[in-house]
Amino acid sequence: MKNAATGARCGTLEVVVAALKRVRAVCGAQDVAFFAYLTIILILLGVLGLGFQRVAAPLHLMAFHLAIGALGMGALVLPRIWNSALSRWLRWWYPVLLCTPFFEGLGRMIHILRPGLIDAHLVAADQAIFGAVLTPILQAHATPWLTEIFFICYASYYFLIPAVGFPFTCAAAGRTRRFVSSSSPSR
C-alpha cells in the first residue's frame, strides 16, 4: 500500500497505526468501552448462543444488539451532521442511555455463562445474612402505595441522567460560545 502524502510504500504496521489514529480522533473512551462490550456480547452470542444452543432465539438477540450498535454509530455521526446541544449531548451520553436496552438483552442471555438458576443460592444467602427468607416478610408488608413508591424510585434512573446531563451540556455550550467570542480578535 502506498502513502498518499509521500508516495512511499507503507507496511502493515504503518497502516494499522494510521487507522488507530483516525479512530482515536473520532472515538472517546466511552465509545471504545461501548463497542468493546458490544463486540464481546456478539461473540458470546455467536459462539455459545448459536454453537451450543444455550440461548433461546440467538439471532434475534444478535439483531437486537446490532441495532443498539447502529444507534451508537448514529450518535457518533450525528454531531457532524447536525451541530446542536442535543446532538452533542447524545454523542457523549449515548452509552448511558443505552444501558437499559443492554440490560434487557442480558436478562435473556444469562444462560450463556450460567446454564442453571441460582435461586437456591440466593435464598441461602438471605438466610445466612438476615436469619430468614426475606420474600415472605416483605410480602406481608406490601401495600399498593408502597409498591408505587418503590416503582417510582426504581424507574427514576431512566429520567435522572437526561434531566441532569442535558442542562449541563447546554450550559457548557453557552460557556464555550462566550469564551470563543471573547477571545476572538476585534475587527
Torsion of CA 107, 110, 111, 116, to 10 degrees: -100
CB 5 within 8 A of CB 67: no
Position 128 scores a pLDDT of 94
Question: What sign does the dihedral 40-46-51-56 (CA atoms) show?
Answer: positive
Going residue by residue through the chain, which has 187 residues, state the pLDDT in tens, using 9 for 90 and above: 555 555 555 577 787 777 777 766 667 778 888 888 889 888 888 887 776 777 777 888 889 889 988 988 888 888 888 888 788 878 887 887 787 777 777 777 777 777 777 788 888 999 999 998 888 888 888 899 988 998 888 888 777 766 776 676 666 656 655 544 444 444 4
Domain boundaries, the chain: 12-116+156-183
Specify the pLDDT at position 145.
92
Provide the residue count of the chain: 187
Q: What pLDDT sits at residue 118? A: 78
Q: Which residue's entry shows cell 438476615?
A: 130
> What is the distance between the alpha carbons of residues 87 and 94, in angstroms, rounded to a whole number?
10
pLDDT of residue 175: 60
In this prediction, residue 185 carries a pLDDT of: 47
CA distances (Å), origin 3, targets 12, 17, 25? 12, 13, 19
What's the N-to-C CA distance of the chain in angstroms? Answer: 48
CB 170 within 8 A of CB 85: yes
